[in-house]
Amino acid sequence: MESSTVTGGGSSRREATRQKLYEAAVTLIAEQGFSATTVDEIAERAGVAKGTVYYNFASKSVLFEELLRHGVGLLTASLREAAEKTAKDGGGTVDALDAMIRAGLVFIERYPAFTQLYVAELWRTNRAWQSTLMVVRQEAVAVVEGVLREGVERGELSNELDVPLTAAALVGMVLVAALDWQSFQPERSLDDVHSALSRLLQGRVSGTR
């Protein structure tokens, strides 16, 4: 029986184990933080022995770094797809941003633990995995920046717009609103959250109507 090659990685027994370890680690680290999560816990949750963790990953930190890369890879792919699909359907820049907001919300709804963990670690300094985190952050923000920049070039967005800062602000808006939604108002629908953010993006906050 050979490789039913799923995207990017082979599907050996080993790969399945790694996947289980990712899933176990992401939940535990999101809840407790990296340091408070023990390798024993991760192994137990994944249903494997502790030694297996070290057979598959060089160290606890390396497991975490690869988890980060894996997760952000999924996010950027999703954002990029949303932007491209909008462009192909003849939508403008604002439509693309709106589609990316929705894609971001869908991602966070699906992988809340990863999002939580990412936010918690992103601005720490002096950590072993800081360089990985920087790279991975830039990948994600770059997608948003790209759409903004193109919008400015095409005259659809104000040329006074500060691309990097606005990108960060938009990402933050979605991130925090979504985490708050998940944590404190889980009964709300994704559409609710999306329309509230959409309204904010399009400046339809002021005015009585």
Binding site for DNA (CB under 7 A): 1, 12-14, 16-17, 35, 37-40, 47-52, 54-56, 59-61
The separation between CA 24 and the C-alpha centre of its own chain, rounded to angstroms, equals 17
CA distance 38 to 28: 9
Contact segment (CB under 8 A) with a copy of itself among 11-19, 55-63, 72-80, 168-176 equals 168-176
Q: Is 204 one of the binding residues for a copy of itself (CB under 8 A)? A: yes
Q: Is 131 one of the binding residues for a copy of itself (CB under 8 A)? A: no
**Token couple for 34:** 């990296």
Q: Least separation, in Å, of the C-beta of 94 and DNA?
A: 46
CA distance 152 to 160: 9
Q: Where are the alpha helices (DSSP H) in 33-111?
A: 39-46, 50-56, 60-88, 93-110
CA distance 183 to 164: 28
Q: Is 191 one of the binding residues for a copy of itself (CB under 8 A)? A: no
Write out the residues near a copy of itself by the rule CB under 8 A: 30-36, 94, 116, 119-127, 155-162, 164-166, 168-177, 179-183, 185, 188, 192-193, 195-197, 199-209
